[in-house]
Amino acid sequence: MITPKINIALAGSANVGKSVVFNHLTGLHQHIGNWPGKTVEKAEGTLHYKGYTIDVLDLPGIRSLSTYSLEELITREYLISNQSDFIINVIDSTKLETNLIFTLQLLELEKPFVLALNMADLLKKNGITLDSKKLAAILGVPVTLVSAIYGKGLAESLDQGISSLHKKTKPRILKYGKEVEERIEQLEQVLQNIPLIYPTRFAAIKLLEKDEEIEKHLKTAHPEILEKAKILNLELEKIHGHSSSVVIADERCLLAAHVAKQVMTITKPQKISFNERLDHLTGHKILGYPVMLAVLSVMFITVFKGGAYASSLLEQLLPIMQTTFYGIFGNTLTTTLIFSSISSIFALISLAIPYIAPFYFLLFILEDLGYLARVAYLMDNLMHKVGIHGKACLPLILGFGCNVPACLSCRIMETQRERFLTGLLTVFVPCSAVTVVVAGLTGRFLGLKFAFGLYLLVFLIIFIIGKIAARIVPGEPTELIMEMPSYKLPNIKTIALHTWFKLKEFIYIAGPVVIISGIIIEGANSVGLLTPISNFLSPITSAWLGLPPATGILLILGILRKELILVMLASILGTENFAAVLTNAQILVLSLVSMLYIPCSATIAALYKEFGWKKALLITVLKISLAIIVGGLVFRAFNFLQ
Amino acid sequence: MTKKNAISLCDLEKDQNALIVAIIAGHKSAKRLADLGLTPNTPIKILRKTIFCGPMEVQVRGMNLVLGKGVAAKVLVKKS
Ligand SMILES: Nc1nc2c(ncn2[C@@H]2O[C@H](COP(=O)(O)OP(=O)(O)OP(=O)(O)O)[C@@H](O)[C@H]2O)c(=O)[nH]1
Ligand SMILES: [Mg+2]
């Protein structure tokens, strides 16, 4: 039978390259990077291959089918109720033993799958040789060596999966130790005639693991089975001296080690590798911190200095463009209107891209290298002071790019409480759009020192809010447990591509908004609405914050997108030389207010989605009030000190 | 093996090797750690620690794991 349409899913542990495979197959650009937990929601894409239309699903990484965090639950639920024709189980082949734990559970689920041993390009450097044929024979599933970033081996994996569709071979069952197997068998017998969504053997094993989901499932209809399981669990506990759920996990580890040993040979390299040296330095108990500060400072300075330079170069193009444009098309009402749109888009490009491009490029390098996980490690102690743990650094750092994915990324935190606390702090992190405003105002006209000062002030505010929130929000803090990724050489080509995608996305989304905002301002101006709006807000904007009243409309537009504040300021004032029309205090306060005053509309939507409307509203009100209070105080302090 | 002369993972120094004796935690945390391969009788090595016995990086079953202070305290080990 020929199926023209096939559904496949990518599954495996975290950080094994599933999203790289997904991107390669579908041509989409899912977030990739070298730390566990980037993909928090399933993503879909399509591929046309050898006459088939293949729907590909990218899933969050999951280590075991008995996991607790939100993104892991998604994968578990999908795999159990799955509708895909086959699964590609992606594995980091340099960590075969630990990755096999997931594979063993897929076998237990009795779903058709193929195994893709990814990162094959790193095997040699790590002194590992793998016998993929032997592994295929042991597991009873097709196995291929794959290098996803180079696109190698993926076609074979697909071919194997497709040809296995017609064969209907069942994956092999690997056996645990005798005591465990006996009890699995006993449970299988009682489970035999009960309709379940899982295979009986899988259900039996999960019962021995005291899996809550399956216990809930059987509780009302078949309490006798739970009783039986309880007795068997106690027997196991007596033999081993610890909980039966731990016994099963242990047996699974042993089985994985046993399989790995048969197919893998390691010759440890004699020299201490570069990675180890780097790890030694960046994770050093004392030196690690100055290194981290240095890395972040270099990034800050590059973005601000480099951005300002590139921005001023680009700006010089505008008059040239203007004369050429009018020279060609003549100076009529239509051409003036068209050129005003062109110049606002140009303002967007010249004000934003010079900062956003290097920022993302550097962030992606750190991400792909694996440095972000080291930051999480180093910052764990500090994060505990605000009621969360080191992993929260990952959404916080992503927040410097854009708060929206950062909010979703809070799902890597284990409890509801920590997700909320992390989300709360994340939306205070100045995103790249805010950076554009701060860099284009304070950085450019007051200097790097003041910009740096603003960031420090915001970090201090984040810390204080965290301290207070950790006390108010009820619940116990949990502890950091994270797999540490090994350092990898960043792939510059992929990084450049992803930076380019970010820029393209930025222009596509922000461009129309800028044009429409320009029209709105023009329109409001022509019907005489601009002054009433400005006047309405002026008790706050000019009386308290000391800003020109015209900034009121900017701050309203800024709710749409933060960079509009700067771009529209340029178009309202008719110049990008803001120092000519704003005082130093105004430049500083406008920057600070932009950093704090409200999450942008997309972030509010993300907050609503993740935490509900009450919390979204609460955070919004909190940010607005803080911006007003702190902005006014800074304005007065600055004037006082001058 | 007895739990008597076991020490907490926190008491180990950088580069020391040990054998896990027990994990003193509730059902959920114990299971979570077990899923990561932290089960009794497993060898464990301290790769590095931060100051204040903050989080530490350990190697278990060929994998590098970061454990916060609170978890590390729950893992009882015996030096080897
Ligand atoms: N050297 C090498 N690196 C790879 C390969 N495939 C992926 N990587 C790197 O592995 C890291 C993780 O890749 P992702 O695709 O983000 O991993 P994932 O499995 O989607 O991770 P989660 O979404 O966090 O579960 C990235 O830094 C990739 O650049 C490969 O074939 N060779
Ligand atoms: Mg992914």
Q: pTM for the complete prediction?
A: 0.92
Q: Do A101 and B37 touch (CB under 8 A)?
A: yes
Q: State pLDDT tens for residues A212-269.
A: 888 888 888 888 899 999 999 999 999 988 889 999 999 999 999 999 999 999 887 7
CB pair distance less than 8 Å for A285 and B50: yes
The answer as to whether A182 is a domain residue is yes
Query: Two tokens at B30?
Result: 């114990």
Q: Which atom of ligand 1 is nearest to the CA of A61?
A: 25
DSSP output for A100-150: HHHHHHHHHHT--EEEEEE-GGGTTTTTEEE-HHHHHHHHTS-EEE-BGGG
Residues of A in contact with B57 (CB under 8 A): 283, 377, 484
ipTM of predicted assembly, 2 dp: 0.94
Q: Return the pLDDT at B3.
A: 60
Run of H or E residues at A493: helix A492-526
Distances (CA, A) of A637 to A153, A154, A578, A642: 63, 61, 22, 9
- Both A160 and A233 in one domain: the answer is no
Q: Is the CB of B55 inside 8 Å of chain A's CB atoms? A: yes
Query: For residue range A179-222, what is the model confidence (pLDDT) as tens digits?
Result: 899 999 999 999 888 888 888 999 999 999 988 888 888 888 88
DSSP 8-state symbol, A196: -
User: How much of chain A is helix, strand and coil, in % rounded to 5?
Assistant: 65, 5, 25
- CA distance, residue B57 to nearest chain A CA (Å): 8
Average pLDDT over all residues of chain A: 91
**Number of CB atoms found within 10 A of residue A14's CB:** 23
- Residue B74: CB atoms within 10 A of its CB come to 20
In the predicted structure, residue A56 carries a pLDDT above the cut 60: yes
Domain CATH number, residue A60: 3.40.50.300
The per-residue pLDDT for A547 is 92
Tens of pLDDT, residue by residue over A378-428, are 999 999 999 999 999 999 999 999 999 999 999 999 889 999 999 999 999
Which of A245, A266, A281 is the last residue before a domain boundary? A245
Closest Cβ–Cβ partner in A243, A381, A483 for B27? A243
**Contact check, Cβ <8 Å, A480/B57:** no
**Within this chain, do residues A146 and A40 fall inside the same structural domain, yes or no?**
yes
Binary contact (A98, B63; C-beta < 8 A): yes
In this prediction, residue A622 carries a pLDDT of: 96
Query: Which H or E run includes A481?
Result: strand A481-483
Domain that holds residue B53: 3-79
Span from the CA of A90 to the centroid of ligand 1 (angstroms): 10
Q: How many residues in total does chain B contain?
A: 80
For ligand 1, atom 21, name the residue with the nearest CA.
A15
Inside any domain, residue A172: no
Q: Which residues line ligand 1 (CB under 6 A)?
A: A 14-20, 32-34, 36-39, 60-61, 118-119, 121-122, 147-149, 368, 488, 491
| Average pLDDT of the segment spanning A106-132 | 92
Residue A642 pLDDT exceeds 80:
no
Same domain, A195 and A131: no
Render pLDDT for A354-387 as a digit per residue (tens, 0 to 9): 999 999 999 999 999 999 999 999 999 999 999 9
pLDDT in tens, B4-18: 678 999 899 899 999
- Beta-carbon contacts of A345 under 8 Å, excluding residues fewer than 6 positions away, are A511, A514, A515
Structure tokens at A161: 């999966």
| Residue owning the nearest CA to atom 13 of ligand 1 | A17
Report DSSP state, residue A331: S
pLDDT band at residue A524 using 50, 70 and 90 as cut-offs = confident
Please report the pLDDT score of residue A117 as a whole number.
97
Task: Say how many Å lie between the CA of residue A78 and the centre of ligand 1.
Answer: 21
Please tell me whether residues A48 and A70 are part of one structural domain.
yes
CB within 8 Å: B34 and A63:
no
Question: B15's torsion region: left (phi>0), alpha (psi -120 to 50) or beta?
Answer: left
Gap between the terminal Cα atoms of chain B: 13
Q: Is residue A142 part of a domain?
A: yes
Confidence of residue A78 (pLDDT cuts 50, 70, 90): confident
B43 to chain A, any CB pair closer than 8 A? The answer is: no
Q: Give yes or no: residues A206 and A128 share one domain.
A: no
* Candidates B22, B34, B66; nearest CB to A249: B34
User: What's the total number of domains in chain B?
Assistant: 1
Do A29 and A122 belong together in one domain? yes
Q: Cα–Cα distance between A326 and A336 in angstroms, integer?
A: 9
Instruction: Summarize the confidence of residues A479-498 as an average pLDDT.
Output: 93
Cα torsion through A177, A178, A183, A186, rounded to 10: 130
Strand partners of residue B79: B18
Boundary of a domain, candidates A213, A228, A245: A245
Say whether pLDDT at A58 is over 70.
yes
Relative to the alpha carbon of A15, which ligand is closest?
1
**Would you say residue A79 lies in a domain?**
yes
Look at chain A and report how many structural domains it folds into: 2
* CB of B40 closer than 8 Å to CB of A242: yes
Using CA positions, which residue lies closest to atom 7 of ligand 1? A17
Q: Which residue from A280, A481, A484 is facing B32, i.e. has the nearest CB? A: A481
Cross-chain residue pair B65–A288, CB shorter than 8 Å = no
pLDDT per residue as tens digits for the range A575-621:
778 888 899 999 999 999 999 999 999 999 999 999 999 999 999 99
Of the ligands numbered here, which is closest to the C-alpha atom of A23? 1
**Which residues in chain A are contacts of B69 at CB distance < 8 A?**
380-381, 384, 479
Which of these three, A122, A138, A167, is where a domain ends? A167
Q: What pLDDT sits at residue A76?
A: 81
- Phi (first) and psi of residue A387, to 5 degrees: 80, 10
Q: Residue A191's domain spans which residues?
A: 178-245
What are the C-alpha distances in Å from B76 to residues A244, A255, A397, B73? Answer: 19, 24, 34, 7
CATH number of domain containing B69: 2.30.30.90
In this structure, are A36 and A108 located in the same domain?
A: yes
CB contact under 8 A, A480 and B55: yes
Counting every residue written for chain A, the total comes to: 642
- Once rounded to an integer, what is the mean pLDDT over residues A296-300? 93
In this structure, what DSSP letter does residue A152 have? B
